[in-house]
Structure 1
Amino acid sequence: MTTKPKAKKFRIRRSSQGAETQGADAIDAPITEGTTAVATDVETQPTGKSARAVRLPSAAGKAGGKAGRAQEPAAPTQQNSDQPTPQGAEAAIDAIKREGLTGRQLRMARRMAQKNGLAATSDYDAVRLLREAGIDPFQRTNMLDLVPSDKETQPAKTGRVQLPQTMELGKTTLPSTETMSPSEMRAIEIGEIQKDIARRRRKRLLLLFARLSAFVFLPTLFAGWYFYSVATPMYSSKSSFMVEQADGNSGTGLGSLLPSQLNANGDAIAVQDYLTSKVAMIRLDQDVGFKSHFASPDIDPIQRLDPNPTNEEAYKLYKKFVKIGYDPTEGSIRMEVVAADPQIAADFSVALVDYAEEIADDLSRRKREDHVRDARTSLDRAAQERRDAQAALVALQETSVLDPEGLIASLRQQISNVQIQLQEKELQLAALQDNARPNPARVEGVQGDVRRLQNLLTRLESKMTEATEGESSLAQKTAQIQMAQADLATADLIMQSALQTLKQTELEASRQVRYLTTSVRPVASEDPSYPRSFENTVLAFLIFSGIYLMISLTASILREQVSS
């Protein structure tokens, strides 16, 4: 904001020896035409050692195209700035002082008085004069009014007082020395602003400390109190074991170039999965009493189970207190079991190691049984195929020894007999149907006999047709016999190969036995391993601090987005 130029009070410091003489010379100096006259207001310091003289330079006046005025001597009398004002003016100024006007309002009143050409002795006097003149002393000025025009630079034409200029000694138009200078008022206002900023900073720091106390310090203090005073000491029992293969590096092919532990990785992972499963937790509870131990009232409420917990609740606690890790490079499984009693922790660990050994043995046994079962199934299938081939060969050999001509003669005789019987039955049926009231039961019986004889005749005729083919049917039977012999030979080879495979599978299964080796046996500890009070307290502090930081950043970003 651009402000109008302010009238300044120039002070000239003089030495204590010639202060009074120089001050008198300044007062008695004449005012000449075309030069700057000096009006002084000599003020002696309280110590009496030096005096200060105030000089206000101004333009001499306007020439107006006429001859200059004659020099006029200055009045020899000196007017004190502390000259008393009329009684009504003092009362008005006192009333204005009690209004509690701010420094900014007083400066606006002073500028308004200077703009309207009112000679005020102080800022409060300026307010009084403006109100008497019917002018609002606190009226906001236009930005264009802040720039002085050409008319305002000519105080002689407008009659407006414009500093610096010559002031008459007999008038009390100078500002009172009791009022503060603009620099002092500016310093006071800057001090107030600094105090307000410091007060706001203290308030914000207090609010920040309150928020940190509510969301970070108090939860951290509560967590530390829990870990140091309330949490039940827990004892850990550590163990380590490996799943190894019996045959080592024996064998051929790429599998012999790999270490045995790499070949047993699948079994080790299967053992780890079983130990971390709900089945292992249920079995441990049935054998050792996992739920009853952690449902004991000696354990703190946060880590304690309910009197009748479900398997899901117990399994959550099981995953927390049973930690199992697998190292694929070494093939070692490391297990840590935590409990409120050191001996119980060791018992839990021993039971879990036994479970792991049973699972390793069961996996290897199942592998051996699967391989041997597949080999035996192949052998049984080959034996059955061989028996089927032998049966087919025997059946073909039995049918090939018949005489084709005798078979044809026999078929012809059978056909003639069936034809005679069929004719008799047809005549009998016709005789029954010629009656006016035939017996339905007899008619149906004869009709059935006729139908059966016709079917028999059809079969015999088809056999007769096949038999009349002669040598072609005999050749087909011979080829069938040869094919049956070839099938039998193939079945013999397959059965021999299946038998050899079974023997080799049984040998390999005996070499691929997996067994569990316990390198570190579980031992009951003497000192509690958990809770780690200091580490857990620091971790809680970091977690609460991170949560508070995320929430505060999110809130500040949202507030900035909403305000923008």
Structure 2
Amino acid sequence: MSSATEHAAATDIEAIKREGLTGRQLRLARRVAQTNDLPATSDFDAVRLLRLRGIDPFKRANMLELVVPQGSKTDVATTPSADRSQVAARQPLPQTSPVPAPAGRPSPASADPMSPAERRNREIRSIQLDIARRRRRKMALLGARLGAFVLVPSIIAGYYYYAVATPMYSSQSEFLVLKADSTGASGFGGLLSGTQFATSQDSIAVQAYLQSKEAMRRLDDEAGFRAHFTQDWIDPIQRLDPDASNDDAYSIYKRNVKIGYDPTEGVVRMEVSAAEPAVAAQFSQFLISYAQEKVNHLSEQKRADQVGDAEGALRLAEQQRREAQSQLVKLQQQGAVLDPEGVIASLRSQINTFELQLQQKRLELAALQDNARPNQAKVEGTAADVKRLEFLIRELNERMTDASQGENSLASLSVQIQMAQADLATRDMMLQSALQQVEQTRMEANRQVRYLTTAVEPVPADTPSYPRRFENTILAFLIFSGIYLLCALTASILREQVSS
């Protein structure tokens, strides 16, 4: 009975060996047998004992890396995919020592003419050949992808730059927006008046204007920008269609007109490209003239606003002075006298003079009357003089009373004339101040004038500046390489995420 059992065990082990189990499966079977305390002498014996116990050690085989030896005919249902079986075929299987056969019976290993060492060497050589074959296939696929997505586009780009692209001639120019010297500036504004920071906003405004559609349309109307780039001998990529829209023309304009502002130096650098060197220089001259007109317009508007306000104040002061002078003349004509105060002073002086004469006559009359026998003729004459003086003084007092009282009195008229004269003097001072303000405003406006000076004049080029064949070809190669690398990394990450 013992010999029959051992013979059956050997037969089962040989059948299990022919199944082509992987090393990972055998190790898993040994661990399961150890867990169930089965006395397994080898990995294959562990599989046999587990099957006799009714335990399937490979119930999670679809989640494992299965290796199927090349040339073995096994059930592929235990493998998740053909790729995993090929990867697993490169792994050497663990070999177990043959179970000693009972006495008087030949060993099962004696039926195989090859020794275990030869079998292992053959399997290792087969695995190495398979690895080399797969490596060559992957390298061929990688080369094909690089050629299709990197080399071929780079060659096409290089062919375009070297053989098809129309040479473009560029014209370099530099100009500055400066401010007039301000001798009266002081403080922080005086410190910045002579630097580029005083005109940085104007320079930025000029740069924005030259890069706008308005400048492009004006250049097209005056210099024929669209007509130049619609010529047939220009390559299709750089050529502009005759029926193209303004947006398409503007894209060509931005590509060929490059303007940059350097805030550290305050210089505006402009590069204009065209298919002919003379045309490029002509376009640069036109754009510089547009920039100069723009600078003049910006400073002119500011000066007009300042001077306009000052001149409006001057006109108002002149009108008010004229009204004050007219009022003074009207008051002087109303009283029929030019100087009411002089009239009043004259009346007062006359009254004082006649009062002194009256006093003298009264004293003389008193002296005559003191005589015992006065001269009657002199007394009567002196008395008549006294009466005449009294009558004259009374008339002068009445005139003085009329001049000092009433709405139309000389005193009231004198006060009104004095007020009119004071108002006229005030208007004269305001007019003088307005005149000074106008002069100062004009001087300040002249100091704030911006003007454009050309540091580098545009000159026609002798050799084409674009395209830069070698640099552009290398740049195209780097761009295509970066795109391919980005796509490959993205695809690899997505495959890893899906497989996990």
TM-score range, shorter chain: 0.5 to 0.7
Deviations 1:338-385 (A, max 9, x none): 000111111111121222222223333333222211211222344456
Local SS of the residue matching 1:356: helix
Contact kept in structure 2, 1:244 and 1:517, CA below 8 Å: yes
Q: Is the 8 A contact 2:100 2:107 kept in 1?
A: no
Preserved CA contact (<8 Å) 1:249 1:258: no
Greater relative contact order (Cα < 8 A, sep 6+)? 2
Aligned-partner Cα distance in 1 for 2:261–2:267: 6
In structure 2, the residue matched to 1:233 is 167
Q: Distance in 2 between matches of 1:365 and 1:151?
A: 106
Within 5 Å, give how 1:161-172 maps onto structure 2.
Answer: 163-164=99-100, 167-168=103-104, 172=106
Q: Does 1:552 align with 2:488?
A: yes
Indicate conservation of the 8 Å contact 1:243/1:268, yes or no.
yes
Counterpart of 1:501 in structure 2 is 437
Structure 2 CA distance for aligned equivalents of residues 335 and 151 of structure 1: 88
Contact kept in structure 1, 2:296 and 2:451, CA below 8 Å: yes
Q: Aligned-pair distance for 1:547?
A: 1.8
| RMSD over aligned Cα atoms | 4.3
Q: Which amino acid aligns with 1:355?
A: Y
| SS, match of residue 239 in structure 1 | strand
CA distance in 1, matches of 2:11, 2:293: 112
Q: How does 1:408-419 map to 2 (within 5 A)?
A: none
Correspondence list, 1:424-435, <5 A: none
Deviations along 1:275-304, one digit per CA (max 9) or x if unpaired, are 222111111111111100000001000000
Structure 2: distance between partners of 1:254 and 1:235: 45
**Aligned residues of 1:249 and 1:257 also touching (Cα < 8 A):** no
CA distance in 1, matches of 2:177, 2:493: 56
Instruction: Give CA deviations for 1:64-117 in whole Å, capped at 9, x if unaligned.
Output: xxxxxxxxxxxxxxxxxxxxxxxxxxxxxxxxxxxxxxxxxxxxxxxxx97725
Q: Aligned in 2, Cα 1:537/1:483: closer, same or farther, shift over 3 Å?
A: farther
**TM-score (norm: length of structure 2):** 0.61
Q: Which residue identity is paired with 2:155? A: L
Matched residue, 2:222 = 287
Write the letter of the residue equivalent to 1:364.
S
Partner of 2:342: none
Q: Structure 1: which 5+ runs fail to align?
A: 1-60, 62-112, 154-161, 400-470, 472-478
Q: Which residue identity is paired with 1:270?
A: A
The one of 535, 538, 544 equivalent to 2:474 is 538
Q: Does 1:370 align with 2:262?
A: no
Change over 3 Å in CA distance of 1:178–1:307 after alignment to 2: same
* SS of alignment partner, residue 297 of structure 1: coil
1:474-510 Cα distance to aligned partner (Å, 9 max, x none): xxxxx99999998877665544332211111112223
AA partner of residue 156 (structure 2): F
Q: Tell me what 2:95 maps to.
A: none
Q: CA deviation at 1:538?
A: 1.3
Shift of 1:179: 1.9
How do 1:141-180 residues align onto structure 2 when only pairs under 5 Å count?
143=30, 163-164=99-100, 167-168=103-104, 172-173=106-107, 175-176=109-110, 179-180=113-114
Whether the aligned pair in 2 keeps the contact of 1:322 and 1:337 (CA below 8 Å) is yes
Aligned residue identity for 1:193: I
Mapped contact 1:291–1:309 kept (Cα < 8 A): no
Q: Secondary structure, in 3 states, of the residue corresponding to 2:173?
A: strand
Q: Does 1:525 align with 2:461?
A: yes
- Please give the TM-score of this superposition, normalised by the length of structure 1: 0.54
Structure 1 residues 135-534: aligned runs within 5 Å? 143=30, 163-164=99-100, 167-168=103-104, 172-173=106-107, 175-176=109-110, 179-247=113-181, 251-262=185-196, 263-384=198-319, 493-534=429-470
The 10-residue stretch of structure 1 (515-524 or 384-393) with the greater mean CA deviation from structure 2: 384-393
Q: In the aligned structure 2, how far is the partner of 1:114 from the partner of 1:209?
A: 58
Gaps of 5+ in 2: 43-97, 335-405, 407-414
Deviation, 1:265, is 2.4
Q: For residues 480 and 149 of structure 1, do their structure 2 counterparts lie closer, same or farther at Cα, with a shift above 3 Å needed?
A: farther
Query: How far off is 1:175 after superposition?
Result: 3.9
Does the 8 Å CA contact 1:228/1:533 hold for their aligned counterparts?
yes
The answer to whether the Cα contact below 8 Å between 1:232 and 1:340 also exists between their aligned partners in 2 is: yes
Shift of 1:238: 0.8
Shift of 1:118: 5.0
Residue 436 (structure 1) aligns with: none
Q: Percent identity?
A: 53
Deviation string 1:434-493 (CA, Å, 9 cap, x unpaired) is xxxxxxxxxxxxxxxxxxxxxxxxxxxxxxxxxxxxx9xxxxxxx999999988776655
In 2, are the aligned partners of 1:235 and 1:525 still within 8 Å (CA)? yes
In the alignment, is the contact (CA less than 8 A) between 1:249 and 1:260 conserved in 2?
Answer: no
Displacement of 1:150 in angstroms is: 6.0
- Asked if residue 116 in structure 1 is aligned to residue 8 in structure 2, the reply is yes
1:366–1:190 Cα change, 3 Å: same
1:116 aligned counterpart, secondary structure = helix
Change (3 A) 1:278 1:178: same
CA separation of 1:175 and 1:560: change in aligned 2, threshold 3 A:
closer
How big is the shift at 1:195?
A: 2.7
Which whole-Å CA distance do the structure 2 matches of 1:531 and 1:115 have between them?
86
Pairwise CA distance, 1:233: 0.5
Greater Rg by CA:
1
Alpha-carbon distance between aligned partners in 2 of 1:196 and 1:482, rounded to the nearest angstrom: 125
Secondary structure in structure 1 of the residue aligned to 2:171 = strand
Question: Does the Cα contact within 8 Å between 2:10 and 2:99 map onto a contact in 1?
Answer: no
The 1-side partners of 2:201 and 2:285 are apart by: 23
Q: Report if aligned partners of 1:237, 1:349 keep a CA contact under 8 Å in 2.
A: yes
Q: Deviations over 1:149-188 (max 9, x none)?
A: 56989xxxxxxxx9457745xx654743862222322232
Q: Secondary structure at the match of 2:110?
A: coil
